[in-house]
Amino acid sequence: MKKIILLLVLLAAAAIGYQQWHQQQAPAERKARPVPNVVVYKAAIQAVRDEVEALGTSKAYESVTITPKVSDVVTSIRFDDGQIVKQGQLLAKLQDAEQQARVELARIKVRENTREFDRISSLVTSKTVAETERDRLQTLIESARAEVEQAQAALRDRQITAPFNGRLGLRQVSVGSLVTPGVVITTLDDISVIKLDFSVPERFIQDLLPGKIVEASAVAYPDKLFRGKVVSIDSRVNPTTRAVVVRAEIPNPDGQLLPGMLMKVKLIKQNREALLLPESAIIPIQNRHYIYLANSEGVVEQRQVTIGLRSRGWVEILEGVELGEQVIIRGILKVRPGDKVKVEFKEHFSFLTAEEAKTTA
């Protein structure tokens, strides 16, 4: 029994001695631990934009399918595929010999009835011919003039012209083709200005004012931004999608944009300034957000923040950070509050691209 008690006393003494030795060694180990490097970003105010993104389809400012009004044979084609034409320029002619003859015949009737009217008028003055005869000739003259106008209209129907300035599409008929109303001869689009229709959720209706700036990009021109303005908003919200169609107009003097293109659209709600941090600085814990700061002594501090806009890898900070404070954006997993760290600064970069910054300015 005495041996057992003695053994227990020795074990207890050994345990106490080991604990005291470990406590003495722990500070030494912590001192020997290397100071971790972290990358920090100095909190700063930057220019930001509140924007709504959507997909839109480009349309010509004016667009029409060129078709004949009457049935007849094509006798002449006066345009090339893709040609730029002016309003009123002749594009094609249909067979019109009969219509020209009718115009000439109606003009002859006008001339003959006019001569007879002049002759009768002098006789009416001398009471040789009744006034009713002069009235009859006046009616014939007016009827013949109407025939001239009718024949000229039929003749014009066989001359197919451009209704406005624009670029023609591909030719769909040949000389000698028999065409009828509805047969496509070609297409005509005015693309000097492009209409861009896109849908925006109804919650943004209060921001949809004519004159708002839009920026659009197309797959064909990935490095170029096309800028325009909102010109109109649809009068109805789609009850299925709860979205409203917005129309913008984009100048297209070089004709780079074509009707039917799918375009990515950004509607600029407003330009403003805000305190921004890289998204990598945010530590989400349940429904809250935190950051790590490196204070002036190089010690890590944890702080809760309130965030706002979140876009392009950036986060707007509404509360919790002051200008110039050093926020850790890289190396967060290596440190804890109270740790000593070695600070490296991140070079400044902007939330906006160079092109967008020009627009904001």
Give me the architecture of the 96-157 domain, per CATH: Orthogonal Bundle (1.10)
Query: What's the pLDDT band for 130 if we cut at 50, 70, 90?
Result: low
CATH 1.10.287 placement within the chain: 96-157
Residue 71 has φ and ψ, to the nearest 5°, of -95, 125
Residue pLDDT, tens place only, 34-65: 788 888 888 888 877 777 889 999 999 999 99
Instruction: Count CB atoms within 10 A of the CB of residue 169.
Output: 19
State mean pLDDT over 120-135: 62
Q: Kindly state the DSSP code that residue 177 receives in the 8-state scheme.
A: -
> How high is the mean pLDDT of the chain?
83
Could you tell me the CA-to-CA distances from 282 to 8, 89, 323 in Å, in that order? Answer: 53, 64, 17
DSSP letter for each residue of 216-262: EEETTEEEEEEEEEEEEEEEEEETTTTEEEEEEEEE-TT----TT-E
Give the integer Cα–Cα distance in Å for 278 and 191. 41
State mean pLDDT over 163-167: 95
Q: Which residues pair with 327 in a beta bridge?
A: 41, 293
State mean pLDDT over 168-190: 94
pTM: 0.63
Q: 34-48+273-360 maps to which CATH number?
A: 2.40.420.20
Query: What's the pLDDT band for 168 if we cut at 50, 70, 90?
Result: very high
Which H or E run contains 137? helix 131-156
Going by C-beta distance under 8 Å and a sequence separation of 6 or more, which residues neighbour residue 217?
224, 225, 226, 263, 264
Give the integer Cα–Cα distance in Å for 67 and 60. 18
State mean pLDDT over 312-333: 87
Residue pLDDT, tens place only, 1-35: 555 555 555 555 555 555 555 555 545 444 556 78
CATH 2.40.420.20 placement within the chain: 34-48+273-360
Residue pLDDT, tens place only, 192-213: 999 999 999 988 888 888 988 8
Regarding predicted confidence, which is higher, 235 or 141? 235
Give the integer Cα–Cα distance in Å for 349 and 346. 9
Residue pLDDT, tens place only, 236-295: 999 999 999 999 999 999 999 999 999 999 888 777 788 888 888 899 988 899 999 988
Residue pLDDT, tens place only, 103-112: 888 888 878 8
Residue 311 has a pLDDT of 73
- Residue 352: pLDDT over 50: no
Reported in sequence order, the residue ranges of the chain that DSSP labels E, i.e. its strands, are 37-42, 44-66, 72-77, 84-85, 90-94, 159-161, 166-168, 178-179, 186-201, 213-218, 221-238, 243-251, 262-278, 283-285, 288-294, 300-311, 314-319, 326-330, 342-345
Residue 216 has a pLDDT of 94
Residue pLDDT, tens place only, 82-99: 999 999 999 999 998 888
Q: 194-268 maps to which CATH number?
A: 2.40.30.170
